[in-house]
Amino acid sequence: MARYEHTCTIRGDGGRAIRAVLDRICDKWTMLVVATLDGGHMRFGELHRHIPGISQRMLTLTLRKLERDGLVSRTAYAEVPPRVEYALTAMGRSLIPPALTLAGWAIENNAAIEESRARYDDRPR
């Protein structure tokens, strides 16, 4: 057995639980939304302005999934016009340190990964 293989299969579910969580937090937009909300409560429009390239639809879907998973809270205020704010929950905030570690690794290794991709893509088939 590989050194860390037991981590993925410890529950006896063939790794389904860990894959489900990683699918959520490692998608294209989740980490950007979580990192942006680390600054505190934000309204939808504010979030949308801070995350370049995300569509309103994708931001809506991402926020709903994060709320469902307990990483983000949604607070609607009974005002005219209606106001809704999003914030990280305690569990959502606990994702920041490992996310920063992963982001640091990505930044540190980005050049080497790009070089490897270029070599792979240039090789004869």
Q: Read off φ and ψ for residue 63, nearest 5 degrees.
A: -65, -40
Give the pLDDT band (50/70/90) at residue 103: confident
Taking alpha carbons only, the member of 13, 24, 46 closest to residue 99 is 24
1 pLDDT above the threshold of 70 = no
Read off the DSSP letter of residue 3. T
pLDDT at 75: 96
What residues contact 112, with CB distance under 8 A and at least 6 apart?
Answer: none
pLDDT at 74: 97
Statement: the pTM of the whole predicted model exceeds 0.85:
no
What residues contact 105, with CB distance under 8 A and at least 6 apart?
Answer: none
How far apart CA 125 and CA 123 sit, in angstroms, is 6
Task: List, in order of start, the domains of the chain with CATH numbers.
Answer: 29-94 (1.10.10.10)
83 forms bridges with which residues in the sheet? Answer: 77
Q: Mean per-residue pLDDT for 55-60? A: 97
Residue 125 tokens read as 């088939």
